[in-house]
Amino acid sequence: MKTKLLLLAVACLLLLTGRGYAQLNLSLIMIPPPGIDFIQAQRSFTVQHGLKSNWQSDIRGYWNGQNVDHMAFTVMRDPNLRAAWDISDEQYQALKDVFDNIHEVRDNDPEHQKFMEEVRAMNNPDDPFPLNVDEETKNKWDDLSEWGSAWMNNYYSTGIRNILTPEQMRKIQETHLANMEDFPVVSPCLFEALDLTDAQKQWMEEIRKELEPEFERVLDDFVNGQLLLVNKGYDELEKLGVDDIGSMMREMSTAMRILADDPEFKRIRDEVESKGRQFATQFRTRLFDVLSDEQWYRLQELISNPPEHVGAFRARFGKSPDEVEEANDIWVPGPDSWRPGMPIPESYRIRRNTQIRFPQPVNQ
């Protein structure tokens, strides 16, 4: 099994479950003006806070269920998936309009205009790439980033849910449930596809609130660990003489090969992933315990014998357990990780199926 590689100096989302996708986001690579060192600019608070905020926003979006909608739009660009989810051409065009019109909506939203004024006021034109800022400035940037991310996630999520039918949303939820190991955390809202009662929905939400402080600690460890890895990448790129984005892209693969054999890089990476994987497992199994026996069997059937719309997603984006491999910079699970089609730990499956019963009625 090949080791996972980090795409250096870019927005790299490594999912908390231990299975991640390196995502190249050139908008988060700052091009400094003449006279400012390229690598130093990437190490600045401005860039690093952007990376951190991007990771936090993505993962929190899955925690609260909003990124389920955003991801659905991203993957439904595949016409086969649209067909499997019964999404018409008219609906898809309406969804595209939601995404294309975001700039106009933002420009006409007084709250967002106020937000942008605060962002502009925080930028210092005399020092656009500060290496360090005081605690008050950090906190202010954190608050602004969280507000901006929440606004955007809410805009996309509301737009998507206003266009798709309940049955289409159910198919999307089922697709996520059957492939939950491919995402950072599973949101309680996904289990609505199993016809949760109001009491069960409340129970799951109480579990989410109970574990939220631990989730935030794991998330904080995750993003700080990722910054350490990214900065080790910058160290290697600097040694290779990188001084602009062109040389960075040329030297990226060389830097990754060097880091692949770096014991400290591996230690940090494995520690970050292990904490995330443990939390994801803990959270999932707590949610599984809420399910009635009937819902539990439906979930297992959804995973083991997926319907057509789930199979279409796996055919396009997933691998069977016997086809695990690494392509480009996409990491797939090692022998101790959950693998596609195996989102339920076997120890829990055995305990649930043979040792305990959950007799609460579905119509509670």
Tell me the average pLDDT across 316-332: 42
In a domain, 13, yes or no: no
The domain in which residue 261 lies consists of 26-354
* pLDDT higher than 90, residue 295: yes
In a domain, 186, yes or no: yes
Helix (H, G, I), strand (E, B) or coil at 324: coil
The amino acid occupying position 102 is I
Residue 86 has, within 13 A of its CA and on its CB side, a CA count of 10
Domain count, the chain: 1
* pLDDT higher than 90, residue 193: yes
In a domain, 213, yes or no: yes
The amino acid occupying position 277 is R
pLDDT > 90 fraction of the chain, expressed in percent and rounded = 40
pLDDT bracket for residue 180 (50, 70, 90): confident
**8 A C-beta contact, residue 203 and residue 364:** no
pLDDT bracket for residue 182 (50, 70, 90): confident
For the ranges 28-37, 52-61, 137-146, the maximum mean pLDDT occurs at 137-146
* pLDDT higher than 50, residue 3: no
pLDDT at 277: 84
CA distances to 4, 20, 116, 252, 255 from 259, rounded to whole Å, are: 10, 18, 38, 11, 6
In a domain, 90, yes or no: yes
Residue 113 has which token pair? 């205009």
Mean pLDDT of the chain: 80
pLDDT at 170: 94
DSSP 3: P
Residue 343 has which token pair? 């989102």
pLDDT digits (tens, 9 = 90+) for 6-25: 223 222 333 232 333 333 34
Which residues, at least 6 apart from 360, have a Cβ–Cβ distance to it below 8 Å? 200, 292
* pLDDT higher than 80, residue 217: yes
The whole-angstrom separation of Cα 3 and Cα 58 is 24
pLDDT bracket for residue 76 (50, 70, 90): confident
pLDDT bracket for residue 104 (50, 70, 90): very high
**8 A C-beta contact, residue 163 and residue 95:** yes
In a domain, 268, yes or no: yes
**8 A C-beta contact, residue 204 and residue 188:** yes
**8 A C-beta contact, residue 17 and residue 183:** yes
In a domain, 219, yes or no: yes
In a domain, 194, yes or no: yes
* pLDDT higher than 70, residue 335: no
pLDDT at 318: 62
* pLDDT higher than 50, residue 257: yes
Phi, psi of 128 (to 5 degrees): -70, -15
* pLDDT higher than 80, residue 66: yes
Phi, psi of 13 (to 5 degrees): -95, 110
pLDDT bracket for residue 110 (50, 70, 90): very high
Written as one string, the DSSP assignment of 8-60 is TTS--B--TTS--B----GGGS--PPTTS-HHHHHTSHHHHHHHHHHHHHHHH
33-47, 122-136, 295-309, 315-329: the lowest-pLDDT one: 315-329
pTM (two decimals): 0.80
pLDDT digits (tens, 9 = 90+) for 125-164: 888 888 889 999 999 999 999 999 889 989 999 999 999 9
| Higher-confidence position of 59 and 337 | 59
For CA atoms 34, 35, 41, 42, give the dihedral sign: positive
Which among 36, 7, 31, 1 is positioned nearest to 257, based on CA atoms?
7
pLDDT at 19: 33
**8 A C-beta contact, residue 237 and residue 248:** yes
In a domain, 162, yes or no: yes
